[in-house]
Amino acid sequence: MTAISDRQKLAYVNAQAADGRVNLEFETEEGMTLNMGPQHPATHGTLRIVAKLDGEQVIHCEPVMGYMHRGYEKLLEVRTYPQVNTLVNRIDWLGSFTNEVPFILASEKLMGVEAPPRAQWIRTILFELGRIANISLFLGDTALHMGGMTAAFYAFRDREFVLNQIEAVTGGRFHPNFDRIGGLKDDFPKGWIADTKAVMARLRDFCDEIEDLVVGNEIFQARTRGIGIIPGDIAQSYGLSGANLRASGVDWDLRRDVPVGLAWDQCDWTVWTHPDGDSFSRYWVRLQEVREATKIVDQLCDGLPSGPIMAKVPRIIKVPEGEAWVATENPLGEMGYYVVSKGDLGPFRVKIRTASFNNISVIPWVTRGVYVPDVISILASLYFILGDIDR
Amino acid sequence: MGLVESGKMPKPLTNLLNISRRYSIWIFQWGLACCAIEMGAALGSPRYDVMRLGVIPLPASPRQADLVCISGTVTDKMVPAIRRLYDQMPDPKYVISMGSCANCGGPYWDSYSVTKGVDQIIPVDVYVPGCPPRPEALLEGIVLLQERIRHEDMAERWKGDPIVVT
């Protein structure tokens, strides 16, 4: 009864053939092959996990990527600099503003422009708000994967307040497109700072709530403690970054270690590490990261300098010839842009280093020999976003 | 459902059937990209709370779903999975295409790996534009779909034009 056009029929046949080819690659003779995804809640999008099982134990587990590959690096070659800004928002879609900042900083480095102090501080505030919006969802979502639905509702409830604050400044709930070469689009609206401090207090309450509800939960601890242990040297050799690395006991945070001109060095905050390296410690480190981020936002709101928010830049932006690399500490880990310019309106080539791509490369190592339910908790605690993996 | 499709069902019965179907939609969440987060906010968060509209967002499999919400960028590699899951859904089935990417390719209109519109693969009932659409926009799309189901003649089901939320 469904009317299907010839075009749809052709697409269907092609699709079936492509699907068959993919399945052939993973045919095995011994054991059982378990497919998770590409549409599976534990994969935060469209990651496909192919696990070879022996009974309930995983012999080998391989992530199959590319279901969300949108060809970013090629697209950026045909966009102008302001247009790039719009597009890179959508790489890590939970904390969008954090994707814009490294690219803008790299472009500013090439142009020799520096944003005024107020712009840098506002950038830092929005960056940390993006971090809170990103990780607070993780805190609820991970509990959801372990079977606790309540925490996800709490996370969605309190995340809305952060999104409201971002929307009040930028006009977008989570694709702000607010950063400009040489500064920012606008200043804060009236009364925003007081509202934000109230929201930050609320978020700290949310962290306490999560600590009671999830971290103290016996089932959650049984599912995560001692599961998926990644030692520090293995984590470093696989190129892990961000909270995944800090949870393995490596004290490394780009915000503190590699200053890029933003205002993190102006405030008092702690980089938390955990010696265990298991799923639980990854969750715990991220929980502390949200707390620290609320503190950073509070301190920056108190000491916000006055002045202009835009440096002098030409109306038509042409970036002189050269190459620049800027990396910042994203909610997911190290994110950097290597921008090559030939003096045109748009970049000649952009290499994007995203954190999730390296973070999931450890999956085959960390899941060998674990049980199938533990794969879920490991995947959830590694915390990747598919746009960030495939770009 | 043969009697229903042939259009020979008595009018009061059709009305009753449509009212029941309207308020018991099981929506399958096909979250692909950014829009999945807004869909999650619309369907799973206490602020927007889709269950008050008579929509249940938690079917365990597409075989139990009446409505699928394709939210996000559809890539060429993802197409087989989408088509297969759509085929597994029982009739009558409806599709919401959420966000610019699923509607027409959106910001990736010139990308080599993105399918420019999910309507090349499966028939779409409601297009919700935006990048990403607010949760309210998705709820509006669902309400419009419910209106359509209410006044639907099963025999004429696929002859109508798709709805665009403005």
pLDDT in the model for residue B6? 62
Residue A243, CA atoms < 13 Å, CB-side half-sphere: 26
pLDDT band at A294 (very low <50, low <70, confident <90, very high): very high
How many C-beta atoms lie closer than 10 Å to residue A116's C-beta? 18
- Relative to beta strand A48-54, strand A32-36 is antiparallel
Average pLDDT rounded to a whole number, residues A342-349: 86
Out of A45, A71, A87, the one facing B113 most closely (by C-beta) is: A71
- Name which of A232-236, A272-276, B34-38, B154-158 the model is least confident about: B154-158
Average pLDDT rounded to a whole number, residues B46-57: 84
pLDDT in the model for residue A16? 63
pLDDT digits (tens, 9 = 90+) for A317-332: 888 888 999 999 888 8
Out of B36, B47, B123, the one facing A157 most closely (by C-beta) is: B47
Size of interface A-B (CB pairs under 8 A): 115
Q: Is residue A167 part of a domain?
A: yes
Q: Over 70: is that where the pLDDT of B4 sits?
A: no
B63 touching chain A per CB within 8 A: no
Q: Is residue A301 part of a domain?
A: yes
B153 touching chain A per CB within 8 A: no
**3-state class (DSSP) for residue A291:** helix
For B94, name the nearest residue in chain A, comparing CA atoms only: A2
The angle at the Cα of A382, spanning A40 to A162, to the nearest 5 degrees, equals: 85
pLDDT digits (tens, 9 = 90+) for A165-222: 899 988 888 888 888 888 888 888 888 889 998 999 999 999 998 888 888 888 888 8
Residue in B90, B93, B97 with CA at minimum distance from that of residue B154: B93
Task: Looking at the complex, report in whole angstroms how far the Cα of residue A304 sits from the nearest Cα belonging to chain B.
Answer: 31
User: In angstroms, rounded to a whole number, what is the distance separating the alpha carbons of residues A37 and A255?
Assistant: 34
- Cβ within 8 Å of residue A349, ≥6 positions away: A73, A77, A339, A340
Average pLDDT rounded to a whole number, residues B83-96: 84
Task: Looking at the complex, report in whole angstroms how far the Cα of residue B17 sits from the nearest Cα belonging to chain A.
Answer: 19
Q: Provide the token pair at A71.
A: 């060809």
- Relative to beta strand B25-31, strand A183-184 is unpaired
Residue A367 phi, psi dihedral angles, 5° rounding:
-95, 0
Before B132, cis peptide (omega within 30)?
yes
Residue in A97, A111, A75, A99 with CA at minimum distance from that of residue A316: A111
Tell me which of A4 and A379 has the higher pLDDT: A379
Highest mean pLDDT of the ranges A12-16, B12-16, B75-79 = B75-79
**3-state class (DSSP) for residue B84:** helix
CB pair distance less than 8 Å for A15 and B80: yes
Q: Over 80: is that where the pLDDT of A360 sits?
A: yes
The angle at the Cα of A266, spanning A261 to A267, to the nearest 5 degrees, equals: 130
Average pLDDT rounded to a whole number, residues B145-149: 87
For B106, name the nearest residue in chain A, comparing CA atoms only: A87
Q: Over 70: is that where the pLDDT of A29 sits?
A: no
pLDDT band at A18 (very low <50, low <70, confident <90, very high): low
Tell me which of A367 and B164 has the higher pLDDT: A367
CB-based burial of residue A306 (10 Å sphere; 0-12 exposed, 13-18 middle, 19+ buried)? exposed
Q: Is residue A373 part of a domain?
A: no
Q: How many residues does chain B have?
A: 166
**One-letter amino acid identity for A91?**
I
pLDDT band at B16 (very low <50, low <70, confident <90, very high): confident
Average pLDDT rounded to a whole number, residues B144-154: 82
Strands (E), chain A: 32-36, 48-54, 57-64, 179-180, 183-184, 322-329, 334-341, 349-353
Residue of B45, B87, B88, B136 to mutate, interface with A, max A Cβ within 10 Å = B45
Q: What single-letter DSSP state applies at residue A212?
A: I
**3-state class (DSSP) for residue B67:** strand
Q: Over 70: is that where the pLDDT of A89 sits?
A: yes
Q: Is residue A112 part of a domain?
A: yes
**3-state class (DSSP) for residue A204:** helix
Tell me which of A168 and A18 has the higher pLDDT: A168
Q: Is residue A249 part of a domain?
A: yes
Average pLDDT of every residue of chain B: 82
Average pLDDT rounded to a whole number, residues A39-63: 77
- Relative to beta strand B67-71, strand B94-98 is parallel
Average pLDDT rounded to a whole number, residues A235-245: 89
pLDDT in the model for residue A338? 92
Residues of A with CB under 8 A from a CB of B: 1-4, 7-8, 11-12, 15-16, 18-19, 22, 38-39, 45-46, 66-71, 74-75, 78, 86-87, 90, 93-94, 137, 152-153, 156-157, 160, 173-175, 386-387
pLDDT in the model for residue B91? 75
CB B105, CB B117: distance < 8 Å: yes
B80 touching chain A per CB within 8 A: yes
Q: Over 80: is that where the pLDDT of A6 sits?
A: no
Q: Which residues pair with B71 in a beta bridge?
A: B31, B98
pLDDT in the model for residue A1? 37
Q: Is residue A203 part of a domain?
A: yes
Q: Is residue A24 part of a domain?
A: no
Count of the separate structural domains present in chain A: 1
The CATH number linked to A311 is 1.10.645.10
Q: Over 80: is that where the pLDDT of A161 sits?
A: yes
Average pLDDT of every residue of chain A: 84
Task: Looking at the complex, report in whole angstroms how far the Cα of residue A255 sits from the nearest Cα belonging to chain B.
Answer: 26
pLDDT in the model for residue A36? 78
pLDDT in the model for residue A367? 87
pLDDT in the model for residue A27? 57
Out of B38, B110, B113, the one facing A78 most closely (by C-beta) is: B110
Q: Over 80: is that where the pLDDT of A42 sits?
A: no
Kindly list the residues from chain B whose CB atom is less than 8 angstroms away from the CB atom of residue A8: 120-123
Give CA B56 to chain center in angstroms.
Answer: 13
Q: What single-letter DSSP state applies at residue B123?
A: -
Q: Is residue A25 part of a domain?
A: no
Out of A11, A90, A157, the one facing B121 most closely (by C-beta) is: A11
Q: Could you give the percent of chain A with pLDDT greater than 70?
A: 90
What range does the domain containing A121 cover?
80-362
Q: Could you give the percent of chain B with pLDDT greater than 90?
A: 0
Predicted TM-score of the model (pTM): 0.84
